[in-house]
A and B are shown apart, each in its own frame.
Chain A
């Protein structure tokens, strides 16, 4: 029986996440990530100012509009995004960019890992369409 599913993207794949974060840093994200770099297993402060150990941390230039670091900590089978208050606009823009980017890279990685052949991959007006298939 054919079916249709609506899926909320959750960030679970550390390899894909790290790859996308590096691509976003290289892109600069309109100044939000200019001069930033990626740290692994590093301390980051959460919105309440508490220090936490996160698997991936983007160290941002602190002179950018009072910018704060962005971190991803593995909690309950997915990565949780951490940042301090004071970087709301930057963090919103960052996550709005990250989610579809991660979703695309992760979908391609998951399809290939599970033996699907990708038949086509098109992008139009910010929407991505991937068609794939496999014999079972």
Chain B
């Protein structure tokens, strides 16, 4: 049983979970998690619990990069354009 567990766990490819946390001036947090597969939200659930209360959560396309992350930006006059969030 132990051997089977070890073998099975070895069959699961490891993956790197990259997290970007932005702490805003008002203390709210924006967290971006970049990973593939379906376990993404489960893996980071404990972290989110430790940080506070999740107000909203939405999936991101797999292809998005951590840096130069494209965002839709709505300008003051209501026009929609693209921008790149860079720190």
Instruction: Write the residues of chain A forming the contact surface with B, with a CB cutoff of 8 angstroms.
Output: 1-10, 12-13, 96, 98-100, 102-104, 106-107, 110-111, 113-114, 116, 122, 124, 126-136
For the complex formed, measure the closest distance between the CB of A2 and the CB atoms of chain B, giving whole angstroms.
4
In angstroms, Cα B55 to Cα A4, docked, is 11
Instruction: Write the residues of chain B forming the contact surface with A, with a CB cutoff of 8 angstroms.
Output: 14-41, 43-44, 46-48, 50-62, 64, 66, 87
- B52 CB contacts on chain A under 8 angstroms: 7-10, 12, 103
- A116 CB contacts on chain B under 8 angstroms: 19, 47
In angstroms, Cα B2 to Cα A125, docked, is 52
Contacting pair A2 B34 (CB below 8 A): yes
Contacting pair A3 B60 (CB below 8 A): yes
Contacting pair A1 B36 (CB below 8 A): yes
Contacting pair B35 A2 (CB below 8 A): yes
Contacting pair B26 A3 (CB below 8 A): no
In angstroms, Cα B59 to Cα A128, docked, is 23
Contacting pair A2 B87 (CB below 8 A): no
Contacting pair B15 A136 (CB below 8 A): yes
- A7 CB contacts on chain B under 8 angstroms: 28-31, 48, 51-55
